[in-house]
Amino acid sequence: MIIDVITILPDMFEGPLSASVIGLARERNLVKIRLHDLRNHTDDRHRTTDDYPYGGGPGMVMKPEPIFRAVRTVQDLEPTRATVIFMTPSGSRFTQKIAGRLSEAERMIVICGRYEGFDERVLTLADIELSIGDYVLTGGELPAMVVIDAVVRLLPEVLGHADSTLEESFSEGLLEYPQYTRPQVFEEMSVPDVLLSGDHARIARYRREQAIAKTALNRPEMLATAELTEAERALAARIIEGGQ
């Protein structure tokens, strides 16, 4: 996969995208990430990327000309057309499902907003507008890193175990079940006996119940779309009622 990032702050990406899993994936050529300074696509000596909004109001708005130039220039770097993603608080909420879909693309171009947002006309370039949550940050750079991290870890061979992404939070519409490791007893807290039983069917049932319980307590709205049996929905309802 090739990921191109268009931003006025390319230096923000070097550390996070050079460390841990993403850094190793880049070293192994499983993903190529290129950073592009939007200011290089301006045409004035001040390298201006923003201007006052028509109709008045506070703040500044990102100009359309540099973004159009940047996206078109970056698209032409490769013969395969890239999926164009705009990071904006007004975009669709980023989910694991969207991450999975994006991980199947050959190329992505991620554009980071700043100031009061984009001139609306640049969104005609977008294949998808994304937000990572219902809050506002100072810019789209951190959300872009979140999207890149979530997508790259789903690429083949990036994670060490082929099943690493199959039973984690959100993959089946539920939060992940609790995990434990050594020591067996820590500060008088013991690992649940079922996990030591060696009975894989029993362990699977326990983990499923725990995933439902955690979701019911922490993210009950997720249960509306999760694939649950009638018995599991009854279990979730009892947990929610007991937790209120």
Contact by Cβ (8 Å): 49, 62 = yes
- The CA distance from 54 to 170, in Å, is 41
**pLDDT exceeds cutoff 80 at 168:** no
**pLDDT exceeds cutoff 90 at 219:** yes
pLDDT score recorded for residue 172: 77
CATH number of 185-243, picked from 1.10.10.10, 1.10.1270.20, 3.40.50.1100, 3.90.245.10: 1.10.1270.20
pLDDT score recorded for residue 184: 96
* DSSP string across 98-164: HHHHHTT-SEEEEEE-BTT-B-GGGGGG-SEEEESSSS--SBSHHHHHHHHHHHHTTSTTTSSSTTT
Domain ranges (residues) in the chain: 2-152, 185-243
Which residue do the tokens 């790259």 mark?
152
Q: pLDDT tens digit string along 139-158?
A: 999 999 999 999 999 999 99
- The CA distance from 187 to 194, in Å, is 20
CA distance readout (Å), 211 to 86, 100, 236: 33, 21, 10
Percent of the chain with pLDDT over 70: 95
pLDDT score recorded for residue 173: 87
- The CA distance from 170 to 153, in Å, is 14
Superfamily holding 2-152: SPOUT methyltransferase, trefoil knot domain (3.40.1280.10)
CB proximity list for 210: less than 8 A, separation 6 or greater: 177, 178
